[in-house]
Amino acid sequence: MKKYLPLVAALVLSSGSVAAASFEDAFNAERALHGKGHTFTFEGKEYTTDHPEELEAAAEATEANAKALIASAKAKHKEVKAVGYDWTLTKGILKSANKALKAGKFQEAMNLAAQAKYHARMGIRQAQRSAEDWVIMVPGS
């Protein structure tokens, strides 16, 4: 039975419709299988496998949009630092985004800012899960 499970999973997932317990599970499965830009159906509605930050970075590559996305990423980074789950690479990505902005490489700046914002959002999610699941980590609980 074990050797058939991946095949069944691949057939279910490749159909464009996902049978998952939650939207997050469905999104993650589709994203892993197809990458960004893929459309899938969950509970009768269509969604794409793009992260919100990727959609923000898809806006017109202008100085104003790059500055706005960098400011938004910095705010999200400040938020994750406040809960103590900031990732060490995020600060460097923000520096690179600022460097690209100063060089007039607006799309690059937006892509980097989106990446930094995503990492900050995932750090916040990590903090939330840690707060919810701490009991599992305590021996004998």
Domain boundaries defined on the chain: 2-50, 53-136
Q: Say what the pTM is.
A: 0.75
Query: Higher confidence at residue 139 or residue 56?
Result: 56
Cβ atoms of 39 and 47 within 8 Å: the answer is yes
- Long-range pairs, 66-69, Cβ under 8 A, ≥24: 66/97, 66/100, 66/101, 66/106, 66/107, 66/109, 66/110, 66/113, 67/101, 69/109, 69/110, 69/113, 69/114, 69/117
Q: What are the angstrom distances between the C-alpha of 121 and each of 6, 18, 39, 54, 101?
A: 31, 25, 22, 13, 22
Element holding 65 (H helix, E strand): helix 63-82
pLDDT over 80 at 138, yes or no:
no
Cβ atoms of 97 and 112 within 8 Å: the answer is yes
Mean per-residue pLDDT over the chain, rounded = 87
pLDDT over 70 at 11, yes or no:
no
Return the pLDDT at 140. 66
Q: Which of 64, 56, 66 is nearest to 96 (CA)?
A: 66
Instruction: State the average pLDDT over residues 58-74.
Output: 98
Q: What pLDDT digit, counting tens, does each position of 77-131 carry?
A: 999 999 999 999 999 999 999 999 999 999 999 999 999 999 999 999 999 988 8
Rg, Å, the chain Cα set: 19
Element holding 27 (H helix, E strand): helix 23-34
